[in-house]
Amino acid sequence: MAQMKWPGIGDLKRELIIKWDKGRYYRLLSDDSDDSGFPLRIRLKIPDSTEILNQFAEVSSWVELCRKEAESSGVQLEWQEINHRQFGRNSLPRALRFQEIDDLAVFIGRDKELKLYRRHSTRLLSSYPELLSWLQRYPMEILKLEDSLSRLLSFLTWVCDHPDPDIYLRQLSLPGVDTKFLEGHKRILSQWLDIILPSSRVNEEYTGIRQFERRYGFRGKPELVRFRILDRNCALAGLQDLSISSSDFSSLNPRGIENIIILENDITALSLPDIKGTMAVFGRGYSFENMKKAHWMRDRKIWYWGDLDSHGFAILSQFRSHYPHSRSILMDEETFLSCRDCWTLESTAQKRELTGLTEAENQLYTRLITAKWGESLRLEQEFIPFNQIMKALHSVGLEGLSRLPV
């Protein structure tokens, strides 16, 4: 009962382990200020005078338990003498005291881990002292690198010595550093490289693990652009449905193509009929890296067709930053209201101001995000009746349809 009411040394030990495993005390080690946090004093909650009076036997048992736990664990226990009017002078355990972090590590059974941390952190900072800020932020991460730190450092050294490498990671010849190893450590390598490399060597256009290579000057797996030539007279070597690299797409400039339709839904793109002088490009949401260097598209009429929701308009607005002359199709209020039975809910709507919309588009976007017809409503393009699609294409002059509306 006494143990439950007044935490003993074992209870404090469990609390200290939790704080240790969150990196709290390792951060003190890497702190370059004069305050190391040690000696460390951890206070115990002691019984008050009323509890001593009413539960003297339990208090005595608790005091003895603390004494035994301190002796068995070797921890320094600080005592406080109290003078009770009925029981006279008594000593109560007041706090645990650790002179150095090593004493704390031994007490909670983390002394071997502390040695490992010191060894790895010393090696890391001796090679790259600028990574001190990373070590302070992620102190526990260094402990996970026991078998890989040497290889990671060799990769860092190679990158620092080779500006703009322009090779695939597969072409590296570093002992133990293969593509599988790098794939499993891209997150931590990215954190380190962002700190170590000068800003001129980090391409901020590319973010996230999937764009690791391009961010640091390596060659990445080519992004493919899929498109359909809807006019067989403009087919490329007889081919109408193709996927090519973004660099090849940027220099494509297909003869006879006057109109380009960008669609976000693959099945809808596959369902489009033959249309004279037209190609359909399969969109990929917010990512336009595969298209933005295709300058030949600036000389064509471009139609963008996305979902009627907050993200659909955000993507349209972003697309116009690359191709300001593009027009939207089937992204109007009339289309939205005509398909009430097909409305669904948008899971994560965004509500920022969009600068790349026309007045009519912005009006509909505003009405959607302000819940004029209901909260988070959307109309996905695959739910628009196909005959309505055909009529919309015809209305903007995309002629030569091989199939009639159904």
CATH number at 275 reads: 3.40.1360
pTM: 0.69
Longest dimension (CA), the chain: 108
Reported in sequence order, the residue ranges of 76-204 that DSSP labels E, i.e. its strands, are 76-84, 88-98
Domain membership of residue 401 (yes or no) is no
What the block records as the tokens of 15 is 């609390």
Distance CA 173, CA 281 (A): 39
pLDDT of residue 50: 67
What the block records as the tokens of 344 is 């669904």
Above 90 in pLDDT, residue 99?
no
Q: Are residues 337 and 242 part of one domain?
A: yes
Domain membership of residue 324 (yes or no) is yes
CA atoms within 13 A on the CB side of 219: 10
Domain membership of residue 239 (yes or no) is yes
Band of pLDDT at residue 4, cut at 50, 70 and 90: very low
Q: Are residues 61 and 200 part of one domain?
A: no
| Residues in contact with 61: Cβ distance below 8 Å, sequence separation at least 6, in sequence order | 2
Above 60 in pLDDT, residue 1?
no
Mean pLDDT of 209-234: 93
What's the chain's average pLDDT?
A: 89
Mean pLDDT of 207-236: 93
Q: Are residues 370 and 299 part of one domain?
A: yes
- Residue ending a domain, among 109, 127, 143, is 109
pLDDT in tens, 74-87: 788 878 777 666 65
Task: Look at 71-80, 138-147, 266-275, 397-406 and tell me which has the smallest mean pLDDT.
Answer: 397-406
| Residues in contact with 219: Cβ distance below 8 Å, sequence separation at least 6, in sequence order | 166, 167, 168, 213
Above 50 in pLDDT, residue 404?
no
Mean pLDDT of 126-130: 96
Q: Say which residue, 399 or 313, is predicted with more confidence.
A: 313
Q: Are residues 118 and 102 part of one domain?
A: no
Q: Are residues 359 and 336 part of one domain?
A: yes
Q: Are residues 164 and 65 part of one domain?
A: no
Domain membership of residue 29 (yes or no) is yes
pLDDT of residue 405: 45
Q: Are residues 315 and 192 part of one domain?
A: no
Distance CA 114, CA 119 (A): 9
Q: Are residues 254 and 375 part of one domain?
A: yes
Mean pLDDT of 325-351: 95
Above 70 in pLDDT, residue 276?
yes
pLDDT of residue 2: 39
Mean pLDDT of 315-329: 94
Mean pLDDT of 365-372: 95
Band of pLDDT at residue 200, cut at 50, 70 and 90: very high
pLDDT of residue 402: 54
pLDDT of residue 292: 82
Residue 354 in contact with residue 362, Cβ under 8 Å? Answer: yes
pLDDT of residue 249: 93
- Residue ending a domain, among 173, 198, 215, is 215
Reported in sequence order, the residue ranges of 268-354 that DSSP labels E, i.e. its strands, are 278-282, 301-305, 327-328, 344-345
Domain membership of residue 11 (yes or no) is yes
Domain membership of residue 352 (yes or no) is yes
Q: Are residues 363 and 313 part of one domain?
A: yes
Band of pLDDT at residue 281, cut at 50, 70 and 90: very high
Above 80 in pLDDT, residue 403?
no
Q: Are residues 388 and 299 part of one domain?
A: yes
pLDDT in tens, 205-218: 889 998 999 999 99
Q: Are residues 313 and 254 part of one domain?
A: yes
Domain membership of residue 402 (yes or no) is no
Segments forming the whole domain that contains residue 366 = 224-395
pLDDT in tens, 15-57: 999 999 999 999 888 766 556 688 888 888 777 666 666 767 7
Above 70 in pLDDT, residue 358?
yes
**Token pair 């899929």: residue:** 226
pLDDT in tens, 115-125: 999 999 999 99
Q: Are residues 191 and 123 part of one domain?
A: yes
Task: Look at 96-100, 132-136, 195-199 and tell me which has the smallest mean pLDDT.
Answer: 96-100
Distance CA 289, CA 213 (A): 15
Above 90 in pLDDT, residue 319?
yes
CA atoms within 13 A on the CB side of 218: 20
Domain membership of residue 71 (yes or no) is yes
Mean pLDDT of 163-175: 95
Distance CA 30, CA 17 (A): 19
From the list 278, 307, 294, 316, the residue with the least C-alpha distance to 397 is 278
- Residue ending a domain, among 197, 215, 233, is 215
What's the domain count of the chain?
A: 3
Band of pLDDT at residue 386, cut at 50, 70 and 90: very high
